Each structure stands twice: as C-alpha cells, then as structure tokens.
Structure 1
Amino acid sequence: MRAAIGVWRWRRNPLRRTTDLVEAWVALVAVALLVLAVPAAGWISGTRTDASLQRAVQAQTRQRPVTTARVVRLAEAPAPGTQSPESAGEQPARRAVVATWSAPDGTTRTGTVATRRELSDPGDTFRLWTDLDGRPVTAPMRPETAHAHATIVGLLTAALAAVFVEAARRLVVRRLTHRRYRRLDRAWAEAGPDWGRTGAGS
C-alpha cells in the first residue's frame, strides 16, 4: 500500500526526481512479488517435491514388502544398521534379537535384527520389512513424512525467494541513491564557485 501511495504521490509532484519515481515503482513491484510470486514459488516447489516423494514412497513400498518375524532368542551381537533416520531416536528402546521370517519367495530366513524391547522375548512377533531377496531393510518412508518434507521445502523456497526480492530491491535503491549523490555533486561543483557572491548568476 505504501509503495502504491508513493507512486501516486510522485506522479505530478514538482519536486519529483526521476529516481524518486523509479524507486517508488521498484517498491511497488517488490510488494507485488512478495504477495503473489513468493507464495506461488513456495507452493509450486512444495507440490512438486511432494509428488516426487510420494512416487518414492510407492516405489519403496513395492520394493520392500512387509512380513512377520518371530523372535528366537536375544542376540549376542548388535543388529546390522537397518534403521532409518526417522527411527534414530528410538534406538535406546530397541534390542537386537535373532528372528526368523519368510522371504518374498516363501523361504524361511534367520538373522539378527532389531525390534522394540517389549517385543524381544522368544516367541514374540513383529513386523519386518525386507527387500525382494528377503534381506532386512529399513521401513519405507511414510506418506505423512513425505508431506512434512515437502512442506519444509516449500517454506524454504518461499523464504529464499522473499530474501532474493528484498535484496534486489535494496540493490536498486542503493544504486539510485548513489546516482542522486553523483548528480548532487555535479550540481554543487557547478554552483559552488559562485555560492554567496553578490549578483552571482545575474
């Protein structure tokens, strides 16, 4: 609003300089970009990222079938690192066990895996994701996690776009200010020698 008022104020003002009008228009364009283009950039970026991540979720779901594993006994060695970053905070609540499960081809597999402590007694069952060869893998990304990541990307894109718009506006205003100073210096250099003289310029 202030940018629009500035353009209108400098429209027919006898004190208006060309740089004043340019600066007002630059401010108006910056406001329009911040209101329209910046949110659009964030929305487009977030939407495309979400679509890409959802395709990755679907691919992981197809390539990582879930099966039921049964605990045989506690493991003496730690389980291989098959946990995803999403579950990194759950590590203290997990325990390595020797378990059996069925591979996608129907064969029975036995190995050391990690499960929650409350499901680590012999005979307990828990969900286990495997690859197509039956090896334990991390669980596929959840759709809601993909949505959260896409939202973050969209917000970051919008923030970076806003920073770029404001930086561009400040750069233009700075150059306009330097241009005004140069003009003032030239005008002063022309009028300075006669400043204060009686009848100067007559």
Structure 2
Amino acid sequence: MHPLSLWRWRHNPLYRCTDRLQGWTALVLLLLVPVLGVGAAYVIGDAAHRHYLADAEHRRQTLRLTTAVLVHDAPDHPEPGSAEARENRYPAPVRFTDRDGRTRTGEAEVLPGLRAGSSVEVWVDADGRIAEPPLNAERIRSRTMGWALVAFLTVTFAGGVVYRCVTVVLRRRNLAEWDTEWARTAKRWTTSP
C-alpha cells in the first residue's frame, strides 16, 4: 500500500465510495497477506519436510550402498582446491558388482580429479542400477525451506494480483461514472446562448 493512499480515509468533498473501497482493500490485504503467507509457508513446508523424510527413509530401506571402481578418470575442476571443487560432483563411468555377483557398469557422480581405479561408494537399487542417494538432513532442510519460501511468495503475489484487479475494476467504474456525469454536464458548457 502506498503511503499516500491513507488520504482515502480523510473527509474530503471529492471523496468517492470507490476510494474508500480501494483503501479498505489495501488495508485488509496488508494485514491478511502476511498472515496467510506465513500459514501457507508452514503448511507447505511441513508437508514437504514429511515427504522428503519419508522419501529418504524409503530410499535407505530399498537401496544399498556398495563400492564401485572408476573406469575412466573423472574430469578435473577448473579451480582445484577451491570450496566449489569440494562441493561439485561430475558424472563418470564406474564398475560394480550387484547382489547376484554380476559385474555392472553405470554412471555415478564423483569428486573431480579422481583417477581410473579409484574406489567410490554408490547407491544401487534392487535392479542393479545406480540411484540417487537418500537425502541427508541438510538437503531435506534446504528443500523444505525452498518450498516454504515458494508458498509465501505465491500468497504475496496473489495478494498483489487481487489488489491490482480491484483497482482496475474500480478505475473502470470511476471512468464510467465520470463519462455519465460529463455527458450531462457537457450540454450546458457546449450550447451557445
């Protein structure tokens, strides 16, 4: 709400009913949107948190951690030793043995710069395919916060859209009333004596 919008509550002979309605709409949205936004963030964040916890637990129960060997060298990071290099992973071909004792190959995300023959741990599903690892607590928290933020911003955006729609409708109504009044008044101003 623009600070100059407060004039809509003062007594003024030019004051219109639509001005009061626009002011009240702004006030209600200003009070309601943060409350609804926090509520939506909590509900969506809680649902996302429970979903990611259940998914991580399901993955821990259905996947198994096994050791694989790099088939080829992993790509080097452009800035070896940097914090980014320690966080990034690169796809590289690996070889591992499944539960039935068969040798399999697949692609796994590994640290940059690892050489062929290096051992890495991979998560494997029941069919012997390399799978995404279960989410750790930090990633669950990060994704939960992301969904909560999206929910809050969505409610905020919706409040802005509602206010904009109300102002457009009221402006059209004001212009229509002005046209009607002008049609009655213009006759007196434009007729010659």
Q: Compute the TM-score of the two structures, normalised by the length of structure 1.
A: 0.68
Q: CA RMSD in A?
A: 3.3
Q: What is aligned with 1:18?
A: 17
Q: 1:55 to 1:119 in 2, by over 3 A?
A: farther
Q: 1:38 to 1:3 in 2, by over 3 A?
A: farther
How far is the alpha carbon of 1:119 from its aligned partner?
A: 6.8
CA deviation string 1:126-176 (max 9, x = no partner)? 423233466543322333223222222222222222222111111111111
Structure 2 Cα separation of the partners of residues 118 and 129 of structure 1: 18
- Aligned pairs for 1:2-17 (under 5 A) are 2=3, 5-6=6-7, 8-9=9-10, 12-17=11-16
How far is the alpha carbon of 1:13 from its aligned partner?
A: 3.7
Q: What is aligned with 1:129?
A: 123
Which structure 1 residue ranges, 5 or more long, are not aligned? 77-88
Q: What is aligned with 1:111?
A: 104
Structure 2 Cα separation of the partners of residues 37 and 177 of structure 1: 27
Equivalent of 2:140, from 121, 146, 149?
146
Q: What is aligned with 1:31?
A: 30
How far is the alpha carbon of 1:110 from its aligned partner?
A: 3.0
How far is the alpha carbon of 1:196 from its aligned partner?
A: 7.6
Structure 1 Cα separation of the partners of residues 162 and 55 of structure 2: 37
Percent of matched pairs sharing the same residue: 24
Q: 1:61 to 1:119 in 2, by over 3 A?
A: farther
- Aligned pairs for 1:1-202 (under 5 A) are 2=3, 5-6=6-7, 8-9=9-10, 12-67=11-66, 69=67, 71=69, 75=71, 90-91=89-90, 94=92, 96-100=93-97, 103=99, 108-113=101-106, 114=108, 118=114, 120-121=116-117, 125-132=119-126, 136-195=130-189
Structure 2 Cα separation of the partners of residues 14 and 181 of structure 1: 18
Secondary structure in 2 matching 1:195: helix
Structure 2 Cα separation of the partners of residues 14 and 182 of structure 1: 20
CA deviation string 1:61-101 (max 9, x = no partner)? 1111223x264xx648xxxxxxxxxxxx6226x4x344446
How far is the alpha carbon of 1:36 from its aligned partner?
A: 1.9
Q: Compute the TM-score of the two structures, normalised by the length of structure 2.
A: 0.71
Q: 1:70 to 1:193 in 2, by over 3 A?
A: closer
Number of aligned residues: 174
Question: Does structure 1 retain, via aligned residues, the 8 Å contact 2:68–2:122?
Answer: no
Question: Does structure 2 retain, via aligned residues, the 8 Å contact 1:66–1:127?
Answer: yes
Structure 2 Cα separation of the partners of residues 75 and 196 of structure 1: 92
Q: 1:75 to 1:17 in 2, by over 3 A?
A: closer
Aligned partner of 2:45: which letter?
G
How far is the alpha carbon of 1:32 from its aligned partner?
A: 1.4
Q: What is aligned with 1:85?
A: none
Question: Does structure 2 retain, via aligned residues, the 8 Å contact 1:43–1:154?
Answer: yes
Aligned partner of 1:29: which letter?
V
Which structure 2 residue ranges, 5 or more long, are not aligned? 73-87
